[in-house]
Amino acid sequence: MSRQIVAFGGGAEPMRLGEALEEWILRLTGRESPRICFLPTASGDSDANIVRFYQHFRHPRCQPSHLPLFRREGEDLRARLLHQDIIYVGGGNTANMLAIWRLHGVDAILREAWEAGILLCGGSAGSLCWYECGVTDSFGLQLAPLHDGLGLLPGSHCPHYDAEALRRPSYGRYVGEGVLPAGVAVDNAVALRYEGKDLVEVVTAKAGAQAYRVERTATGVHEAPLPARQLR
């Protein structure tokens, strides 16, 4: 299988992408009932987010499970994650999540899973983590640069582009000033699908929601919408 990552801006509420995006992600595996494992690390393994995940990803359309890191029970993390068809990363604090993953070796396992053709996906923190860098609220109320993403995808990233008032101006400023390299911003209800490191498709489950290429120019910062396919 090809190496695939799906990064989406987020949903209307935690863990709620909308049925169209959820079904689209499951179909990408080509399996009738794919195994999908939820990593709730960014929310501190929030019980509420775990419950929501199971509410939205139920049998028989998939085989859901979750993998906590704050309450480990000696499970072989590598064996568990490499047995999946999809690894779904939830939202929350990106910086804390990356630190915990590195402490437990999950960062290396996720790279191995990607290279093995397991679909990696997520929204918010679960979207930003795959890139080299981006803009985050991990360090407080003010949005700040994050420079130590997993680097599976090139450049910078900004989720929630249309949903939080400070996202667009903050990301534009950091890219325009050269603090962050060029990258992609994504509205809620929009997903970016990568094969390898190449962006091959943008889909949206909400009319008018978009993704954007954002880059520095001689006169400041330039934002260009990317063509998107509406899911039905």
Minimal CA–CA distance to 150: which of 190, 187, 189, 194? Answer: 194
Whether residue 160 lies in the annotated active site: yes
Work out the angle at residue 94's Cα, subtended by the Cα atoms of residues 89 and 98, and round it to the nearest 5 degrees.
80
Are 134 and 156 in contact by the 8 Å Cβ rule? The answer is yes
Domains and CATH numbers, the chain: 4-230 (3.40.50.880)
Contact 35, 84 (CB under 8 A): yes
Select the more confidently predicted residue: 18 or 159: 159
Q: How many residues can be counted in the chain?
A: 232
Q: Which residues pair with 88 in a beta bridge?
A: 38, 121
pLDDT of residue 12: 47
| Residue type at position 9 | G
Identify whether 124 is a catalytic site residue.
yes
Catalytic, out of 124, 138, 156, 170 = 124
Could you read off the pLDDT of 127-170 as tens digits, one per residue?
Answer: 999 999 999 999 988 999 999 999 999 999 999 999 899 999 99
Given the residues 127, 156, 160, 170, select the one marked as catalytic. Answer: 160
Question: So what's the pLDDT on residue 14?
Answer: 46
36-95 pLDDT, tens digit per residue, is 999 999 999 999 999 999 998 988 889 999 999 998 888 899 999 999 999 999 999 999
Give the rounded percent of residues in the chain with a pLDDT score beyond 70.
97
0.75 surpassed by pTM: yes
From 54, 193, 59, 180, select the one nearest 122 (Cα to Cα). 193
